[in-house]
Chains A and B, each alone.
Chain A
């Protein structure tokens, strides 16, 4: 092996940073600059695969960068959950880079060099979150991720972008500094360490602590604003002012998944699932997550702007992961972990399709997309498959986490949660699957008219008006990922299973 897995963890941060400077240096020549992004992406993928392989073989490669204050090192250690998140992020970043090139050029955006530079920092900090060996390290990269994505969200620089950016930064920084940081320091003060330890670190010192575990869990659940648990979610819809590649990658994969990933990791490695189950501290948050799932879906139903609808759908889907964690059962946690992977592939497909529709047909409202299917068949077919995965229909990967979550709810004796999951899937059918169906089967509505019944047209293969290839190919690739996840769910489950073993 060229690089040892331990070094690969820290190189995963270093390589995007080198890429950052390479992109800066080659900013004058767009082709060279994009080549730098793609090369960085390929090298990074290689590194994350090395770590992934080693973790799968039972190793826990780690790297101590240095110790800041006594007992608080910046250190990395890969475990199955983090290794999976890192692979997911690096692969999807590469796909998204292809898409960015198509979108940004097709759209002739300004400041493209800054755009790619910020992306490189964002992916580096996502790697930091994925491999963090303790809460302290996690927090540092969590904040870097927020700051590095702020210029991406406000990329357009107009008043709407500024307003969205203010909410984005204010909410994410506010929750993290106001709730997450005290929670981390509190854990440090109680347990004397912030290391992620199988089985948790709080069970012993807090065995007699009454309501304190629930309070701490609440600080984490809302302090990790990136997990978008209601009511800490408004930053996500506001972030939709960003260019679509940003929404597709950051607000379907890197940023939001860093949030729910952190929640899962804290529940598993700081609290310990058994501890939560015994104290029942997570029950209130399970209900909040369930409420968040339904409420966000309900809001998504009446959003006509496609990206806004997808954003609320994301809020809802993220709460599945939080719900899985808060069920405090093995199946729940596994369901949450699988949801991270399958939702990433599915939702990224949907966002990239939204961007392709925008570039190809300049449409942003769902109501304007009726009858667009025959013109853009590939985009809408990819959208259809992505939506299937989000709803949880076989043969798409998204069906497994829903299944596991239901098992987990049954294990926890929370039958009402099963009903919540079923209702949520039905709502998803209504507001996501309807979009491609209307695109194919309804005729476009004229000015001020009500949509006319069936106007199904055959796809006229000679008259296709798709977005550029680099905008259409990436969503098809991610839709294929979502499909493959259905068939390879078992190996993934086996890969993740060790996180539940308290060693």
Chain B
């Protein structure tokens, strides 16, 4: 059997099988190092597999893998093209950095008896996100979505050891997430009713030219369900608390990946399943997605300015940033879609780095309140530096990935004749200037309180992954072959498939 031919299934099978093994490892012996080291190696292998897939897709074109050798549309198909290969690489890449990063942070934030459960849940969560991305089967999306969501509820709740509000945050997320998943599955049911198939490519063929209320309703349910998962404004209310009270490493992982995956699913359903030329798509873009995206860009970013808790602030900022991605999609043009994909990838890099910096502060100062950041530039120079660079990236300062995102979005706006959209994008970046600038000013200009204890810089095991991610923020701001070129090709393929 050729192992390389089985590459597409490795990112799913490997963590799914090894997660229970991680759970069986001792949490308290050797400080819980066994599940940590084991899970980290598994994640690195997964990352290698995903990078291999991306390379293979970029050079030889889309891959179709039939599970159990049952041919689609009867069997489940994993279909990897450029768009989801990019997201797979992002998710597994972030995981490959967060796992080694998490150890010190997690040991100080959760009940130590739960360390092996923690790594098992984190592996499962990653599996779910990768599964949602990789599959070409619509119902499979729902299955993996639930796998990732359920494990995320557990992961968020583990923050209760430090702050009991994590329990209500998790419960809130559970209720909202379940509603979202239900909407999604109702939408799938309607599409199934209309076509009798669940394979995405097959759905597309069956739906072609089919114009009826049931499909429209199905589409609406899917967008709302996924919008909830993606924290699309105004369905974002579960998110700030979940991100704020989850263990810091969990926040870093899910902030950088899970909402991005949900946005990807929306894009996938619009373009691959329904098709952008479907009769109601332009109306949905113009009257639903664009206004909500704009409202998110301004409202959520505006709320972020007034947060006292840095993690909550970053969460609100994420809602705003999701707005940018959806706004790009709503142009309904190829550059707009490409810009969304670029921003999806880039935002994962910046938010991951920012939450990692917040985790370092949490470890050393013991709080994620703004006041903990006073004078940080002197007390923890590397952490503060990482926060500043990735914060500038969030604003969109040149030489960072954020600038590339902004540029692409602006170019797409002007290209499609929406000059007003360009100005809305830059206007909302001012809000980012304010909420990021506020924390930077605290770190750089305000002295630490006089009675603050001496603290050390974060340990190397956290600094190294964080600085790698920060370096990625700069590297991909200068070399865009991977992000922009592949996104443009992916957008071309998606739009081409839509015609």
Contacts and interface: CB of A to CB of B under 8 A. Distances in A.
Interface residues of B, number: 32
Contacts of B433: 170, 173-174, 177
Interface centre among B398, B407, B433, B480 (most CB of A within 10 A): B398
A70 B124 CA distance: 39
Interface in B201-245: none
Contact of A162 (B410, B415, B445): B445
Interface in B388-415: 392, 395-399, 404, 406-408, 410-411, 414-415
Given A68-B404, A162-B441, A188 B411 contact: yes
Contact of B397 (A66, A147, A174, A185): A147
Interface stretch (B29-37, B135-143, B361-369, B422-430): B422-430
Contacts of A154: 445
B404 A69 contact: yes
Contacts of A162: 441, 445
Interface string A184-208: 0110111000000000000000000
Interface string A142-168: 011001000100100100001001100
Interface string A55-73: 0000000000010111010
Interface string B23-67: 000000000000000000000000000000000000000000000
B386 interface: no
Given A177-B430, A186-B422, A157 B445 contact: yes
Q: Which of the listed residues A66, A68, A165, A185 has the most CB atoms from chain B within 10 Å of its own CB?
A: A185
A170 B408 CA distance: 24
Contacts of B427: 178
A174 B484 contact: no
B291 interface: no
Nearest to B417: A189
Given A69-B480, A154-B445, A186 B419 contact: yes
A395 to B, nearest CB: 43
B411 A185 contact: yes
A178 B430 contact: yes
A173 B422 CA distance: 17
A273 B239 CA distance: 53
A189 B410 CA distance: 9
A140 interface: yes
Contact of A186 (B406, B414, B441, B444): B414
B283 interface: no
B407 A185 contact: yes
Contact of A144 (B398, B404, B426, B445): B398
Contacts of B437: 169
A69 B445 contact: no
A351 interface: no
Contacts of B444: 151
A454 B323 CA distance: 69
A211 to B, nearest CB: 12
Contact of A182 (B423, B477, B479): B423
B411 A189 contact: yes
Given A162-B441, A182-B423, A185-B410, A139 B398 contact: yes
A140 B415 contact: no
B422 A140 contact: no
Nearest to A186: B414
Interface in B347-406: 392, 395-399, 404, 406
A56 to B, nearest CB: 31
A166 B441 CA distance: 9
B17 interface: no
Contacts of B422: 182, 185-186
B13 interface: no
Contacts of B398: 139-140, 143-144
Interface in B449-499: 477-480, 484-485
Nearest to A143: B398
A500 to B, nearest CB: 30
Contacts of A177: 395-396, 426, 429-430, 433
Contacts of A66: 478-479
A182 B430 CA distance: 13
A144 B403 CA distance: 13
A169 B445 CA distance: 14
B414 A185 contact: yes
A176 to B, nearest CB: 10
Nearest to B419: A186
Contacts of A169: 437
A147 B398 CA distance: 11
A306 B445 CA distance: 27
A181 B426 CA distance: 8
B415 A69 contact: no
A69 B419 contact: no
B441 A140 contact: no
A181 B398 CA distance: 10
Contacts of A185: 407, 410-411, 414, 422
Contacts of B408: 69
Contacts of A178: 423, 426-427, 429-430
Contacts of B429: 177-178
Contacts of B396: 177
A151 B441 CA distance: 11
A179 B392 CA distance: 18
Given A69-B407, A157-B445, A182 B399 contact: no
Contacts of B445: 154, 157, 162, 165
Contacts of B410: 181-182, 185
A66 B399 CA distance: 12
A44 B411 CA distance: 36
A225 B196 CA distance: 60
Nearest to B342: A69
B399 A189 contact: no
Contact of A70 (B397, B399, B423, B484): B484
A69 B423 contact: no
A68 B406 contact: no
Interface in A410-464: none
A144 B399 contact: yes
Interface in A372-421: none
Contacts of A69: 404, 407-408, 480, 484
Contacts of B406: 181
Contacts of A186: 414, 419, 422
Interface string A229-256: 0000000000000000000000000000
A157 B378 CA distance: 14
Contacts of B397: 143, 147
B62 to A, nearest CB: 23
A188 B412 CA distance: 11
A69 B408 CA distance: 9
B478 A182 contact: no
A185 B437 CA distance: 25
A189 B169 CA distance: 45
Contacts of A181: 406-407, 410, 426
B460 to A, nearest CB: 22
A39 B408 CA distance: 41
A157 B407 CA distance: 34
A189 B421 CA distance: 14
A151 B388 CA distance: 14
Interface in B301-355: none
Nearest to A150: B444
A140 B477 CA distance: 12
15 contacts: A66-B479, A68-B404, A68-B477, A69-B407, A70-B484, A72-B407, A165-B445, A166-B441, A177-B395, A178-B426, A181-B410, A182-B410, A182-B419, A182-B423, A185-B407
Given A68-B480, A177-B429, A182-B426, 17 more contacts: A66-B479, A68-B477, A68-B479, A69-B407, A69-B408, A70-B485, A139-B398, A140-B398, A143-B397, A144-B398, A147-B397, A178-B423, A185-B407, A185-B414, A188-B414, A189-B414, A189-B415
Q: Which 8 A-B pairs have the closest CB atoms?
A: A189-B414, A140-B398, A185-B410, A182-B422, A178-B426, A143-B398, A69-B480, A186-B414
